[in-house]
Amino acid sequence: MLEAKLAEASILKKLLDAIKELVNDANFECNEEGINLQAMDNSHVALVAVKLQQTGFRKYRCDRPMPLGVNIASLTKVLKCAKDDDLCTLKAADEADVLNLVYEAKNSDRIAEYDLKLMDIDSDQLAIPDTEYDAYIKFPANEFSRIVRDLASLGESVRIDVSKEGVRFASDGEAANGSVLLKGQGPITGVTNRPKSSEEEDEDAEGSGVKKEDAAGAKEKPKVEEISEDDEEDEKPKVKKEKKTKVKKEKADGDVDMDGEDDEKEYEDEGEEEVDNEDSDEEGDGKKRKKKESSSGKSPKKPRTVNGQAKGKGKGKSKEDDGEDSEILIQMNSHVSLTFSLKYLVNFSKSASLTNKVELYMSNDVPLLVSYDFGPGYIRYYLAPKIGDD
């Protein structure tokens, strides 16, 4: 018996949209740890691996391991009948020949129910080796999407070079050539990276329930966690004295210091009335300065946060996510240069709807790993490099 309830149907919809052009039929392998999918495209050039951990479901029950063979196109059509914010429940009995999907609307009494016929699909579960990669790049997912789309208009292949200069994407077409260079932050050499195994992912989920961090993200995380309401109270005199210079610097440079400046801006937004009362006895020129700062301090539209959680209006991004939107991290042990088909990379980039970061793992003569880690799990693509003119 399988019963898995997702808080939002949009997660499944985005996953299927990302893989439907690569995979026609596939088995969803369900067990007590979660739901897994592993499949190759028809040409056996690319492999996709998806995992939804049981901790990512609102309710999860799987009495025994079972495969659910589905046609991806048919499942996509059934999921289109659900709204993005509907509760989505997957149900299947032992030895069942149908998959039952139930959509519950959050703001009404509407409940929709669909049955999808299951298929018997013969597929071998490939053992993906635990590889140590020579190069690792983490950067915004929308930037990766833009690069591969732009270069796909010029040629069919892209050469990815990782060196001390940065990571360069280059494509040579019949009519035009193009390249994009990304210069990363953080260590450039001497670091070996690999994605976490399924066992490590499960340990992380059970131990903390928090999405895993990369090396750079783990270093920056404590800075966000140290922010608290008590710290904001301690910063009050500093805000009053340095508010003018801090706001001007933010306006000029567009640079926000995660340690202090964002905290001061937050206090300025939330405690503006209190600051006004404290400054009521100042001279006329002081009042003008305060008024000017109050109006200019509201102009940068950054989400206000406390303890890393977004406050007020916005899309729910934390301060850490907002601060890392444009960060590029490159780590390497040796120079790596590989050529890949842009058609596949464009398909991979559709997973950008799931998360705002993408990770590339590369080694010479080894398939490229493109990983998108999101809340309940991950989606990973493996793409074989081109050799010579093939």
What is the rounded CA–CA span in Å between residue 278 and residue 132?
Answer: 58
352 CB-contact burial (10 Å; exposed 0-12 / middle 13-18 / buried 19+)? buried
Tell me the per-residue pLDDT of 293-323, one tens digit each, with 9 for 90 and over. 444 444 444 343 333 333 434 344 443 444 4
Tell me the per-residue pLDDT of 222-256, one tens digit each, with 9 for 90 and over. 343 444 444 444 444 444 444 444 444 444 444 44
Using CA atoms, how far residue 149 sits from 153, 172, 321, 354, in Å, is: 7, 14, 24, 18
Q: How confident is the model at residue 199 (pLDDT cuts 50, 70, 90)?
A: low
Instruction: Using the CB atoms, write b or e for 268-289: b if 16+ within 10 Å.
Output: beebeeebeeeeeeeeeeeeee
What is the rounded CA–CA span in Å between residue 131 and residue 128?
Answer: 9
What is the rounded CA–CA span in Å between residue 100 and residue 115?
Answer: 5
φ, ψ dihedrals at 56, nearest 5°: -85, -5
DSSP 173: -
Angle at 65 between CA 60 and CA 70, to 5 degrees: 85
Q: How confident is the model at residue 175 (pLDDT cuts 50, 70, 90)?
A: confident
DSSP three-state, residue 204: helix
**What is the pTM assigned to this prediction?**
0.67
Q: Read off the pLDDT of each residue in 74-82 and give the average, rounded to a whole number.
A: 93
229 closest CA partner among 142, 305, 133, 155: 305
Instruction: Using the CB atoms, write b or e for 306-336: b if 16+ within 10 Å.
Output: beeebeeeeeebebbbbbbeebbbbbbbeeb
- CB-CB contact of 161 with 299 (8 Å): no
Q: How confident is the model at residue 140 (pLDDT cuts 50, 70, 90)?
A: very high
62 DSSP β-pair partners: 2
What is the rounded CA–CA span in Å between residue 207 and residue 203?
Answer: 6
What is the rounded CA–CA span in Å between residue 49 and residue 71?
Answer: 16
State residue 94's pLDDT score: 83
What is the rounded CA–CA span in Å between residue 282 and residue 82?
Answer: 59
Q: Cβ neighbours of residue 317 under 8 Å, at least 6 residues apart? A: 303, 310
- CB-CB contact of 89 with 5 (8 Å): yes
DSSP three-state, residue 189: strand
